[in-house]
Amino acid sequence: MFEGPISLDDGNLRYNITSSFKIESSLRRKINSIWSERVSSFEKKEFCYDGLSYRLDDYRFTQEKLLLEVSKIRFSVRYSLLKLAEEGTDLDEGAASKGLGVAAFIETSDGYYIFVEKSDAIKPFNKIGLVGGILDFIEANPEIDSYYLFDELCREMKEEISVGNGSVSKYSFLGLVFSCLGGVLILFDLKIDMSKEDVLKNFFENEQAEIECLHFVDKSGLEVFLNGKSDILIVSYDLWKRVQDLS
């Protein structure tokens, strides 16, 4: 894990054309079975996403520079590997999902942190989470500017809570968070110049089918709210809190 705040000028992604990520035939059969079951459970097939996204192959943080080495992974594979890990399947390091996502602790101008509750229609892996999403694959480009990470976060923010990047008054790049199930999250800390009421107004005017509702929690209530939530959310909070305590 690396910790920030780190400037986006100090990092980049490098795409691996020949990734070391391989899936054996026996594991592939399990993946296919899990995904087939998931697909058949959807009433509306358009909600059953199976696009390409980035997977973390390796990372290095040296001389105050961050390098993320990434490859591509289909959502059906990353989802199924997370399910297998959740069920207790022992996956070696090379077979772990390591699917990349971006997310942020977003603070409103009146001191609330925003969490999204996802709709059952999309059958989310975790019902409640930070604003964010998977890091979509764009192209087999050997070098990807790390500002892409922030742009992707802002795109998710616009889609999920209808807040544009023009409302961001301050941000920092905190670090990588590793889930015990194999997921990897690139974590930010954001402040926006909108109040809770402003955000709610925008959300209800531009409601998205994938988000059921928003939760607003003040700083003193975060620990209680996060109790019992997903491990990736709790570990994200631990990193965010350590950075907060240092600042």
- DSSP assignment of 63-77 equals TTEEEEEEEEEEHHH
At residue 142 the predicted structure's pLDDT band, cuts being 50, 70 and 90, is: low
| First-residue to last-residue Cα distance in the chain | 19
pLDDT at residue 149, rounded to an integer: 86
pLDDT at residue 28, rounded to an integer: 92
What are the tens digits of pLDDT across the range 177-218? 999 999 999 999 999 999 999 999 999 998 777 899 999 999
DSSP letter (8 states) at residue 234: H
128-134 and 143-145 strand pairing: unpaired
The b-or-e profile of 125-136 (16+ CB within 10 A means b, else e) is beebbbbbbbbb
pLDDT at residue 7, rounded to an integer: 58
At residue 63 the predicted structure's pLDDT band, cuts being 50, 70 and 90, is: low
pTM of the predicted model over 0.85: yes
CA–CA distance, 162 with 142 (Å, rounded to integer): 32
Question: Interior CA angle at 105 toward 99 and 108, to 5°?
Answer: 145
